[in-house]
């Protein structure tokens, strides 16, 4: 069965559905003919943005709700066949400043959703958005799923716990679930208002505003990047596949690049902006993981997924999107 056939008329739910990846996934699922319910708390600074569903507003349902609220989740999951669980707190810096909130959102909320499925919709399939941050500093590159889970910050610990809750509910309670360990996802509809949710959205904003990017250290650190459309296709594939249940998979890009080369490319593509190298801030150096890129071959073999958008093309599309819509992503109160 093709993805188009699988999702046509299928009742799906996306937690964090007004956020970056969730809203791009919503656009794709609407194209595929799914019945789409978006759940988002719209907590300020977390990335939820109603403009992200511009053009599909009439084809999705939106429920502004907190996934930590058990009574709400018990109701919302009841008729959903596939649940894409993308709600979460993703700032590593915020997790170190306020670990209890990170615990609440990245652990308790996951249990709330899974308990709702267990008791009210045990037939649902759940796809969880995990992160490469759970690995910590890699022992060798590329990183495979066999690498030890050894987070360097509170966010990584709580995301790892959230991932394992899903796998336990699959293995013990029969709620079919899997986890996708995403590397650096970038593209349209990403939060640009502040720099606490990863560097790439912030770098994009700085070049679009013809400002200077500060690169920590000598910029030699290597990362892989996944264009958001490719990340969306990974979720679509996982939701439709029984071959991924009960496991966690890397979802990364097939190109990796040093930070210094990345910022040079951004400045070139934008035709403006600049960059300089600065010393590492102590609080960021303490949780830095060095170079990282993932081996996604296990997920590719299991589902047939593969990234298809090259870096230059992906960043060209991203810059074009924000040039057209920047006011919707930058407010007057941001710096």
Higher model confidence: residue 58 or residue 281? 58
Residue 86 near residue 14, CB atoms below 8 Å: yes
Q: CA-to-CA distance for 97 and 115, rounded, in angstroms?
A: 29
- CA nearest neighbour of 47 among 8, 19, 9, 76: 19
pLDDT, tens digit, for every residue of 84-120?
Answer: 999 876 565 666 777 888 887 788 899 999 999 999 9
Residue 49 near residue 329, CB atoms below 8 Å: yes
Residue 271 near residue 202, CB atoms below 8 Å: no
Q: CA-to-CA distance for 326 and 290, rounded, in angstroms?
A: 31
Q: What was the pLDDT predicted at 335? A: 39
- CA nearest neighbour of 20 among 204, 164, 154: 204
pLDDT, tens digit, for every residue of 207-240?
Answer: 999 999 999 999 999 999 999 999 999 999 999 9
Give the mean pLDDT of the chain: 92
Catalogue all structural domains in the chain, each as residue range(s) with its CATH number: 3-190+225-254+293-309 (3.40.50.720)
- First CA to last CA distance, the chain: 48
41 pLDDT more than 90:
no
Q: CA-to-CA distance for 205 and 259, rounded, in angstroms?
A: 16
């Amino acid at each position: 069965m093709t993805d188009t056939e699988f999702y046509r008329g299928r009742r799906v739910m996306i937690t964090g559905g007004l956020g970056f990846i969730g809203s791009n996934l919503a656009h794709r699922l609407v194209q595929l003919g799914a019945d789409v319910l978006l759940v988002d708390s719209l907590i300020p600074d977390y990335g939820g943005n109603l403009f992200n569903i511009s053009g599909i507003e009439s084809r999705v349902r939106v429920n502004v709700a907190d996934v930590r609220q058990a009574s709400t989740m018990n109701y919302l999951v009841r008729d959903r066949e596939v649940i894409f669980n993308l709600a979460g707190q993703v700032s590593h810096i915020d997790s170190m400043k306020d670990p209890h909130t990170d615990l609440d959102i990245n652990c308790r909320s996951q249990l709330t959703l899974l308990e709702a499925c267990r008791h009210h919709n045990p037939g649902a399939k759940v796809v969880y958005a995990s992160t490469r941050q759970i690995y910590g500093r890699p022992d060798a590159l590329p990183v495979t799923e066999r690498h030890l889970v050894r987070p360097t910050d509170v966010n990584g610990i709580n995301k790892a716990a959230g991932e394992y809750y899903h796998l336990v509910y699959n293995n013990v309670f029969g709620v079919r679930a899997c986890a996708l360990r995403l590397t650096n996802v970038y593209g349209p509809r990403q939060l640009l208002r502040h720099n606490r949710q990863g560097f790439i959205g912030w770098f994009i904003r700085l070049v679009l505003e013809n400002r200077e990017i500060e690169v920590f250290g000598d910029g030699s650190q290597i990362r892989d990047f996944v264009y958001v459309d490719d990340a969306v296709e990974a979720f679509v594939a996982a939701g439709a596949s029984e071959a991924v249940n009960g496991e966690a998979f890397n979802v990364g890009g097939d190109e990796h690049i040093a930070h210094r080369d990345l910022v040079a490319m951004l400045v070139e593509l934008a035709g403006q902006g600049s960059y300089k190298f600065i010393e590492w801030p102590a609080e960021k150096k303490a949780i830095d993981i060095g170079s990282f890129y993932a081996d996604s071959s296990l997920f590719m073999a299991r589902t047939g997924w593969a990234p298809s958008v090259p870096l230059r093309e992906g960043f060209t599309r991203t810059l074009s999107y924000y040039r057209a819509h920047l006011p919707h992503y930058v407010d007057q109160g941001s710096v």
